[in-house]
Amino acid sequence: MKIAIAYGKFCLTFRGSLPFAAHRQDPRGLTGSEYGFIRIAQELAALGHDVTAYTVSDETEFEGIKIRSVNDFGEVDASFDAAVAINEMELLRDCKAKLRVCEHFLNSFDYAKLGFEQHVDLWLSPSQGHLDMILGMSHEVEIAPGKVGGYFKADPANWTVIPLGCDPERYDLTEECPICEDLEYGQTCSCKGTGRRPLSKAPGRVVYCSSPDRGLHWLLQEWPAIKRAVPHATLKIFYRLQPWIDGFADVAYTPPIEMLRSRAVYIQECLLRMSGPEWGITVCDSVSREQIEREMCEAEVLAYPCDTVRWSEGFSCTILEGCAARACPVITDCDALGGIYVGSASVCDRHDIAGWRDSVIEHLSNEVQRGKTNFCARAFAERHTWRLHAERLVAAIEKTQGRAGHHAGSAPRQNASLKSVLGPASPIRGPEASESLEQWTAARNAR
């Protein structure tokens, strides 16, 4: 198939432009959406499709992907079998592709303009919890100072669930085995003579890798208790923390923003009070993909006491990558997270922070419990890869085109719902690691 995939300026925000060739080495790091956009394009191309990526970049080609300016997305015509917009459904208004698809990772539509839904044929949600939220309420559209342009109610016939992904193989890092050199003739060690062994965990290492407004305040509140129970524990915080804190200095008082501002002030005060070496806290800011993969591999616990001020977490690639890295995610059931990761991570009640803290302590102190959690976490990550995401995306496009009879630039036909095409919105689990795409699609259609 000929596929256009777009990632626009609204999502790029501070970055300005997106690196392709050096996306794993960029010291600014990548958000989950940015990395997902690149990986989806890569996997579509690897599956043999003709892929053009529309975004802001200085590059023109990457691994068989043609790269064009997002300003030229209007050139996408009926020769394209599908056009896929990541989050920015407005990009599809002038699109003439045979099928117009929006992968909607965000949680609102207030940045869109009225009538946007008439230009999207297929909506993809990253989890069942996210889709339930989308379908369960009316959403404000085209918000301007002092007014709302209108409201949007999603049509369940045009929505389905395709989970996001990760790259488990990226977290199978190794290091030189120091034991082999000291062995006598005929003896072997766990590296089986290869001279390499899995990268060692840093004892007591805890990492926080998500947006600071979503739970860092709880982690810092509980850190003294964690430190007393596990004296060797250390904490590394990865995010653009100081720019986020400084950003509130120029924001005028408004009730919705004050809870975020109070969290920023609290976090800043906590870090000031626990700045000494005895607390073991390091603020690392953003880092490259390569470094964050290594940091997760070295961590014993990925701590994420998620507690959003509004519905925000529809999937969390950070948690999925923590599963892949065997970083033992200890999280809460906030928003969609409980439905996704229960049984694959340590999931605690978002309203029981003391219970979450105790789980962090238990997993830092109990190697057997940590191993059990990591076994389930890694198995879950291997069932949720970017390759599987791309295969499911292609299956959704082909089935929708084949059975719904879409024509270039047409509005969705209401008499051919996605439920009849793909079956009900898929649960977050599956396909299993041993299940082929054909088996997965057949199972969906049988439901």
Can you tell me the distance from the alpha carbon of 90 to that of 74, in angstroms, rounded to the nearest whole number? 11
Please check the confidence at residue 434 and state whether its pLDDT lies above 60: no
pLDDT one-digit tens code per residue, 84-134: 999 999 999 999 999 999 999 999 999 999 999 999 999 999 999 999 999
Regarding whether 193 and 129 lie in a shared domain, the answer is: no
Whether 281 is in a domain gets the answer yes
In the predicted model, is pLDDT for residue 393 greater than 50?
yes
The pLDDT > 90 percentage for the chain reads 76
Q: What is the pLDDT of residue 255?
A: 84
The tally of domains found in the chain comes to: 2
Q: Among 232, 234, 230, 235, which Cα is nearest to 362's?
A: 230
**Residue 9 domain-assigned?**
yes
The domain boundary residue, chosen from 114, 135, 161: 161
pLDDT band at 412 (very low <50, low <70, confident <90, very high): very low
Global pTM reads 0.87
Is the same domain home to 116 and 179?
no
> Is pLDDT above 60 for 443?
no
> Considering the domain boundaries, does residue 394 fall inside one?
no
Q: Does the structure show a pLDDT above 60 at 53?
A: yes
pLDDT single digits (tens) 186-201? 555 666 666 777 889 9
CA distance 132 to 138: 12
Task: Say whether both 237 and 338 belong to one domain.
Answer: yes
Residue 10 placed within a domain: yes
CA 442/CA 427 separation, integer angstroms = 15
- Give the span between the Cα atoms of 339 and 106, in whole angstroms: 17
The pLDDT of 73-88, averaged and rounded, is: 97
CB contact at 8 A, 314 and 124: no
Same domain for 145 and 175, yes or no, is: no
Helix (H) or strand (E) holding 359, with range, is helix 353-365
Residue 181's pLDDT is 55
Judged against a pLDDT cut of 50, whether residue 165 lies above it is answered with yes
| pLDDT at residue 426 greater than cutoff 70 | no
User: Is 247 within the bounds of a domain?
Assistant: yes
Residue 1 scores a pLDDT above 90 = yes
Residue 140 β-bridge partners: 151
The DSSP bridge partners found for residue 62 are 65
Confidence class for position 405, pLDDT limits 50, 70, 90:
low
For range 125-146, the mean pLDDT: 91
Model confidence at 147: pLDDT above 90:
no
- Looking at the structure, tell me whether residues 131 and 178 fall in a common domain: no
**Pair 157, 172 in one domain:** no
Query: Tell me, what CATH number does 302's domain have?
Result: 3.40.50.2000
pLDDT at residue 253 greater than cutoff 90:
no
Residue 22 has pLDDT above 60, yes or no: yes
- Count of CB atoms situated within 10 Å of the CB of 264: 22
Helix (H) or strand (E) holding 39: helix 32-46
Q: 216-229 vs 255-273: helix axis angle to the nearest 10?
A: 30
Last residue of one domain, picked from the residues 127, 161, 195: 161
CATH number at residue 87: 3.40.50
> What is the pLDDT averaged over residues 262-280?
97
Q: Is the pLDDT of residue 241 over 80?
A: yes
Residue 75: pLDDT band by 50, 70, 90 thresholds?
A: very high
Is the model's pLDDT at 280 over the cut of 70?
Answer: yes
Q: Residue 83: give the domain boundaries.
A: 2-161
Residue 424: inside a domain, yes or no?
Answer: no
Q: Give me the sheet containing 301-304, strands edge to edge.
A: 281-283, 234-237, 205-208, 301-304, 329-332, 346-348
Q: Both tokens of residue 81?
A: 């079998």
Q: How far apart are CA 135 and CA 264, in angstroms?
A: 32
Q: For residue range 303-332, what is the model confidence (pLDDT) as tens digits?
A: 999 999 999 999 999 999 999 999 999 999
Task: Determine the pLDDT at residue 178.
Answer: 67
Among 335, 360, 382, which residue terminates a domain? 382
In a domain, 66, yes or no: yes
- Checking if the pLDDT of 61 tops 90, the result is yes
The Cα 379–Cα 143 span in angstroms is 42
Looking at the fold, whether 27 and 124 belong to one and the same domain comes out as: yes
Statement: residue 249 has pLDDT above 60: yes
Indicate whether 441 pLDDT > 70: no
- If asked whether residues 136 and 58 sit together in one domain, one would say yes
pLDDT at 410: 46
Average of pLDDT values for 129-158?
A: 90
Are both 299 and 202 inside the same structural domain? yes
Is 162 within 8 Å of 399 (Cβ atoms)? Answer: no
> Is 175 a domain residue?
yes
Q: For residues 266 and 128, state if they share a domain.
A: no
* Domain match, 87 and 198 both: no
155 plus 187 within the same structural domain: no
pLDDT of residue 46: 98
Question: Of the ranges 31-40, 167-176, 288-297, 411-420, which one carries the lowest mean pLDDT score?
Answer: 411-420
pLDDT higher for 261 or 145? 261
Mean pLDDT value of segment 279-290: 95
Determine the pLDDT at residue 45.
Answer: 98
Mean pLDDT of the chain: 88
